[in-house]
Amino acid sequence: MDYAGSSEDRIIRARCLVVPPDRTGVPRQVIRTLDAVDPRGPLVRTLEVGVCGTDIQIVAGTEGILPAAAGEMILGHEVLGRVVHSSTPEVGTGQLVTCVVRDPDPVPCGQCRRGRPDLCSNGSWKERGIRELDGFMAEYWRAPVDKLVPVPEELIHLGVLVEPASIVVKALDTLRQMDERLGTSDPSGNALVIGCGIIGLLTTAFLRLAGHKVTVVDPAPPGSLAAQAAASFGAEYQSHQLVPGDMVTEQAIAAHRVVIDAAGVAFLPQLLATHGAENASCCVVGLPSGQQATVDGAALLGTMVKRNQVLFGVVNSSRVHFEHAIELLREVDAAWPGVIGGTTTRIPFDRFREAFVPHTRVGAKDILVF
């Protein structure tokens, strides 16, 4: 694309999905304008944007912070796009890219200063499409070069999954750090993955790549796409409702020292208190949605102390996690061709409402195609 003309010739009108102030549960389509040539970063044409539970919660008003000045915010934080104009050699025109979501705080804190805004210690960070910054559910957007992460052309069919995959990379890296206390740098024994959405499936795939035995527990029936994908990775799949008192889930917690909760099971702490294994490390990635639970704090803390347990949460990721996620997605696609991609549902942009209204999701991830 040639943008050598006047400033008026360079103005682009882009369709966008914004979160309105009234938070109606469905984003509103608007037109935004932007200059194709801007020193703040290359211009990117959106190809695909993933829709996740966080997006659903933001438009419903239970998560997210809108920019105070604008009063509305462009949604979306899982993106794959192609650079259509760039004046920098670091990211050239035509390059496939995704984008780091979090901006560091302006102070900055020590973590942000060392390039880890995902661990920001003062809470002044902002996130695209989530907290005070416009996201990627727009036909065009731009970002500073250091936020753009190149995606290889052969990964175009999975590039939109780099952001959720980066969260999994961070979670597994942290689990390995926890295991250093046991004299090993890798999770030992079997791993339990709770939830078979895209985060759960990516977790399962990455663990299986590393040679670990994995059990997946999720309410989806055994014949579902997600269940079939988990089985394709070589994991044991168990279909259960994930409700308090479910004996099979309790037995699964007791039998696994490494637990990754990708579903946001609100009563998980109580399960750890009553059934958690010795030296257990439990990573929580999913946010509870609507589920309430009562936890016996004394029992939980007592068990954690007596059994050397670790319970921690993971949110967001840094550029290094994005880059590692790209490599792992390549390996997953080579080891199990088409499996992860087969669990996604692509929805044309004009039908975006289908991704936000209550519906029975066929796959593990809805993706808007621009």
3-class secondary structure, 149: strand
Task: Count the Cβ atoms, other than its own, within 10 Å of residue 123.
Answer: 7
Q: What is the mean pLDDT of residues 36-46?
A: 89
Q: How far apart are CA 65 and CA 133, in angstroms?
A: 9
Q: What is the mean pLDDT of residues 319-331?
A: 99
**290: which residues sit within 8 A by CB, 6+ positions away?**
none
**208: which residues sit within 8 A by CB, 6+ positions away?**
214, 233, 234, 235
Q: What is the mean pLDDT of residues 244-260?
A: 86
Task: Count the Cβ atoms, other than its own, within 10 Å of residue 327.
Answer: 13
Are residues 16 and 29 in contact, defined by beta-carbon separation less than 8 angstroms? Answer: yes
Q: Cα 260 from chain centroid?
A: 14
Transcribe 188-209 into DSSP letters: -S-EEEE--SHHHHHHHHHHHH
Q: Which domains does the chain have, with CATH numbers?
A: 11-150+339-369 (3.90.180.10), 165-313 (3.40.50.720)
Question: How confident is the model at residue 4, as a pLDDT?
Answer: 47
Nearest Cα neighbor of 174 from 268, 281, 256 is: 281
Least confident of 6-10, 52-56, 291-295, 358-362: 6-10
pLDDT band with cut points at 50, 70 and 90 for residue 268: confident
Structural tokens at position 119: 């661990």
The string of pLDDT tens digits covering residues 328-350 is 999 999 999 999 999 999 999 99
Average pLDDT, the chain: 92
Question: How confident is the model at residue 186, as a pLDDT?
Answer: 54
Is the bond leading into 108 cis (omega within 30 degrees of zero)?
A: yes
pLDDT band with cut points at 50, 70 and 90 for residue 157: very high
Walk across the sheet containing 73-74 and list its strands. Answer: 28-35, 11-19, 73-74
Q: How far apart are CA 30 and CA 142, in angstroms?
A: 18
3-class secondary structure, 99: strand
Q: How far apart are CA 301 and CA 96, in angstroms?
A: 47
Residue 14 pairs with which residues in a beta bridge?
Answer: 32
The string of pLDDT tens digits covering residues 198-220 is 999 999 999 999 999 999 999 99
Does residue 306 have a pLDDT over 90? yes
Q: How far apart are CA 344 and CA 347, in angstroms?
A: 10
Pairing type for strands 258-261 and 236-239 reads unpaired
Q: What is the mean pLDDT of residues 121-129?
A: 95
Helix-strand-coil percent breakdown of the chain, rounded to 5? 30, 25, 45
Pairing type for strands 191-194 and 258-261 reads parallel
